Amino acid sequence: MWSWVGHRITGVVIFIFLLVHVLDTSLVRVSPEAYTAVIGAYKNPIMGLGEAALVAAIVFHAFNGLRIIAVDFWKKGPKYQRQLLWGVLALWAVTMIPFLIRHLTIVFSNFFGGH
Amino acid sequence: MSTDSIAAPRSNSAQSPKYKRNKASHSSFEMFAWLFMRLSGVVLIVLIFGHLFVNLMVGDGIHAIDFGFVAGKWSDPFWQVWDLAMLWLAILHGTNGVRTIINDYAERDGTRMTLKTILYVASAVIIVLGTLVVFTFDPCPPGAVIDLPSFCPVP
């Protein structure tokens, strides 16, 4: 039930970001200055935290999607759906910890450290 | 026990003799959409995880992203095809997901049709725009001076 709610909410959030992300990337067709200016807004620490939340949503949606496929196509999937959800959450943590260390280091060291 | 000792479900209801659910469509579209979500989902995991790794984890991560970074990637057909596949699959996957959510929660026919029309128009605009950008992109636009990739001729 909650994995289903989580899958829907993360799906909508990712879709809305995707629409915006295609629009901002399309600025490369306007001019290098326009693109670099807008992408600069993605580099401050507040947006950095937003990107971390977005990646957290994507990683959950990805692994829970694999769980849905396992439930639909694997003979024993429905029986083990609860254990599979714990597997999703474990994989999510294992993926997010190194991602957060690396991404937040880049975001915060560049903001406070120089340039 | 004989087979007809228990009346068939709903045989005495207003919907007797047959339970009528949605007989408007006999197409296999919903089955195709269900399968598409699973197949595109698996491919998108590879494409998006690769995209995030190359753009956020390698080198200076997000701090290195500027016009030159995008230009460097899209001068290579590999990344053009990668990003184009990601664009189409992600938009179609997301559009079908939001379509399902609208069908679930918007109960009035008019609301449902309006929301889905907005969704389809937005998705079509984004897919066409993104495709044009990937294919008509010029890594060394005339007149530009900043953030150009190193392979552009010096003006």
pLDDT digits (tens, 9 = 90+) for A73-96: 988 888 888 899 999 999 999 999
Residues A12, B98: C-beta atoms closer than 8 Å: yes
Residue B108 CA to residue B102 CA, distance in Å, equals: 11
Fold (topology level) of B29-136: 3 helical TM bundles of succinate and fumarate reductases (1.20.1300)
Residues 6 or more apart whose CB falls under 8 angstroms from that of B42 comprise A66, A69
- The band of A11, judged by pLDDT with boundaries at 50, 70 and 90, is very high
Q: Domain A2-113 is in which class?
A: mainly alpha
Domain boundaries, chain A: 2-113
Span B13-64, pLDDT tens digits: 555 555 556 656 678 899 999 999 999 999 999 999 999 999 899 888 888 8
Any B CB within 8 A of A44 CB: no
* Cα separation, A63 vs B49, whole angstroms: 11
For B58, the closest chain A residue by CA position comes to: A102
User: How many contacts does A have with B, using Cβ atoms within 8 A?
Assistant: 114
pLDDT at A43 over 90: no
Find all residues with CB under 8 Å of B100, minimum gap 6, and list them: none
- Which helix (H) or strand (E) segment holds residue A4: the answer is helix A2-25
Sign of CA dihedral A51, A52, A58, A61: negative
pLDDT tens, residue by residue, B51-82: 999 989 988 888 888 888 888 899 889 999 99
pTM (2 decimals)?
0.84
Judge whether residue A22 has pLDDT over 70.
yes
Residue A31 has its nearest CB partner, among B56, B70, B144, at B144
**How close, in Å, is residue A86 to chain B by CA atoms?**
19
The string of pLDDT tens digits covering residues B75-110 is 889 999 999 999 999 999 999 999 999 999 998 999
Contact B94 A62 (CB under 8 A): no
Q: Which amino acid is at B1?
A: M
| Residue showing tokens 């957060």 | A100
Sign of the alpha-carbon torsion through B138, B143, B149, B153:
positive
Q: Where are the domains of chain B?
A: 29-136
